[in-house]
Amino acid sequence: MNKSFDIPFVGLKQGKHHFKFEVGKTFFDAFPLSTIEDGDLIAEVELDKKETIMISNFIVHGTVKVICSRCNEHAKIDLNDTMINYYKFGTEKEDDENLFVLFPDEYKINVAQQVYELITVALPSNPKHKKGDCNAEMVELIKKYQSKEKKEEIDPRWEKLNKLN
């Protein structure tokens, strides 16, 4: 894990604390299966420490460089998203994906995985260039080989079933 994303919570007083992290290429290189190749993002974490729990509010904003799903060229996608996680002091495991248990011997939390998950969830399912920014040659090839939908003729025996509704 990237140590620059460590937050030592043992010495923190109760109350709200703010942390800011820069997310770039080296961050995404630490995740070998990432579809994100590069980025210029700021991740802000507001950690509200209480007696038995810590609440973290994550805010990520900036741009990432991914492959366009239309033309297969690099595209910059703007991101802006938030997430809340809870850190509970204790010894028993929890099943909730947003609730992390901090055992008595732990003194820091590493938020790199949570920041990465927030960024990947914020990505559109089919990242694309803005209209008109795609590789023109590739767009022409797509249009050329795109199938033209033909209206299928329905067997008259089945056509009567369609009229039942």
This prediction has a pTM of 0.81
HSE value, Cβ hemisphere, 13 Å, CA-based, for 65: 12
What distance in Å separates the CA atoms of residue 109 and residue 116, rounded to the nearest whole number? 15
For residue range 22-32, list pLDDT tens digits in order. Answer: 999 999 999 98
Residue 65, strand partner residues = 38, 76
Element (H, E) at 27: helix 25-29
pLDDT at 64: 95
DSSP assignment string, 94-126? ---TTEEEE-TT--EEE-HHHHHHHHHHHS-SS
- The DSSP code for 4 is G
What distance in Å separates the CA atoms of residue 73 and residue 5, rounded to the nearest whole number? 31
- Which parts of the chain sit beneath pLDDT 50? none
